[in-house]
Amino acid sequence: MWTYEKKAVLNGFLRVAGVDEAGRGPLAGPVVAAAVILPSDLDVGEINDSKKLSPKKRDRLYDYIQTGAEAIGVGVIDAGEIDAINILQASLKAMRVAVEALGSVPDFLLVDGTFNVPMPLSQEALVKGDSRSVSIASASIIAKVVRDRLMAEYAELYPEYGFAGHKGYPTKAHKEAIATFGPTPIHRKTFKGVSEHVR
């Protein structure tokens, strides 16, 4: 899991950040990105792609990464902006905001997926990066936990939609709630499954 970080260091880079996002697919809520710089001596035994971890283990690793990381930045782009600029651009913007929020500028980015972050920094995009790079995996955990906690807060604001369970993803129950009650302010009005219910 350290292969890409070590390669970057061998190429002369000193501050390598992993970047990932959570929430591209949901019909509601923000897209959240995280950027994480880890110290090279951190014990990363259980850190893995957030999608492969139970919620309980994600929460535990979230606390562990928060304590052990050199720097963490988070970017949150809300549903209104997702509708205005599209989900890909919103995801890339969230990643840029997360990198800018690190506090100290990294000199190399390892980015999950196929797109580079729109910033003048050296970087490498890695398909399935959250399973291949410990920095990206750590960012995936931070982004996922932050987003899930935001959706739990929205669940209290809009109890009839069940956000605490499906986190805004297009489950049968969620789609039925949209059809019954209409979209909320946190729904993505341009997404199929929501757009046909916008009055």
- Residues 140-158 have pLDDT tens digits of 999 999 999 999 999 999 9
Average pLDDT value over all residues in the chain: 96
71, pLDDT greater than 90? yes
Helix/strand/coil (H, E, C) string of the chain? CCHHHHHHHHCCCCCEEEEEEECCCCCECCEEEEEEECCCCCCCCCCCCHHHCCHHHHHHHHHHHHHHCCEEEEEEECHHHHHHHCHHHHHHHHHHHHHHCCCCCCCEEEEECCCCCCCCCEEEEECCHHHCCHHHHHHHHHHHHHHHHHHHHHHHHCHHHCHHHHCCCCCHHHHHHHHHHCCCCCECCCCCCCHHHCC
Question: Could you name the CATH architecture of 3-147?
Answer: 2-Layer Sandwich (3.30)
pLDDT digits (tens, 9 = 90+) for 95-147: 999 999 998 889 999 999 999 999 999 999 999 999 999 999 999 999 999 99
